[in-house]
Amino acid sequence: MSLASATLFSNAVIGSSRAHRSAGPFRIQFGPDWRNNEIMEWHHSLGRRLTKINMFQLRRERSKALKHQYVVLFLSEDCILRLDRRGDETKPMETMKHEGTESIDTIADVKSLSDLDKTSDFLAEFHCQSSDVDLLNIIKICFGIHRDNKAGRYTLQRFNCYFFAWTVLVATARHVVRWDMHPSDSPWETLSQKLADALSMKSADAMINLMIKGTVIVVMTTRLKLKPQLSRAMSLRARLAWAMPEWLIRLALQDAIGATINAPANSPFRIDRAASHHAPNHSLERRRRGCYARGCSS
């Protein structure tokens, strides 16, 4: 769901206060103190009855080339919210730099889960029916991210939507799990397995495609800007390589990365994607069963 097409917050979420109605996703922003800002005013307007979280989902979009990931929160009274992180869409090249751009972190209302199922798949989910997790916990996690000079900004390579979604999910799971339980009895083992399952080969492929796309963008942009100056200093062979069409650059990168992935096991240049790929009995057929945190039946 893009920022332009995002829906209004439902009346059930924002209550009767017109001051908190929005024409799109609610922007998550903080001042020096996380308690005194608009996001906290919005939280207070909901009332305690609507802020208890029953279930989390980590989801990944299908159609987007970058496979955008986000978190879905299932609250009381059939209220569903989604948390997203995006960069400044007006500065796409800046997102590839080390300093990145301002992060656009938002929380928005979801009218129907079926709408999400049409465009995305869920990678992991866990339930918490003990009322230990409140929307306030999520706000605190977001504040912790925003106060960091690096994590508070969006970079395509590191502090992106994947980082934001997984940080929120894992930090919340750490809050609800009973760490005083014996490891063999702890739901953390199940939760860890669930989160590991989400790092499947598809995720590795998505990151490879992201790397290829980013490299192509840099090459094409640099070539456009510096072609007159570089052409005079290049040999004939170099000029031919520099003039390669975009599709041929992509093919060359795919072949190079494929050779690295499929290198011998003792090669220092091998990428082991299988390390994060688990047996079939730990994958899709078990995901809908969820990981139950404290107070939930297993």
Q: Estimate the crossing angle of helix 38-46 against helix 135-146, to 10 degrees.
A: 170
Name the packing angle between helices 246-261 and 201-233 (round to 10°). Answer: 130
Confidence of residue 218 (pLDDT cuts 50, 70, 90): low
Residue 260: CB partners within 8 Å, gap ≥ 6? 269, 270, 271
Q: How many CA atoms lie within 13 A of 292 on its CB side?
A: 8
Count CB atoms within 10 A of the CB of residue 13: 22
SS3 21: coil
**One-letter amino acid for residue 272 of the chain:** D
Q: Which long-range contacts (CB under 8 A, 24 or more apart) does 220-228 make?
A: 220/246, 220/249, 221/93
Q: What is the pLDDT of residues 276-286, one digit of tens each?
A: 333 344 333 33
d(CA 207, CA 247): 19
Q: Report pLDDT digits (tens) over 21-60.
A: 333 588 888 877 767 778 888 887 777 667 888 888 999 9
What percent of the chain clears pLDDT 90, i.e. is strictly above it? Answer: 16
pTM of the model: 0.56
Q: Provide the token pair at 264.
A: 């011998």
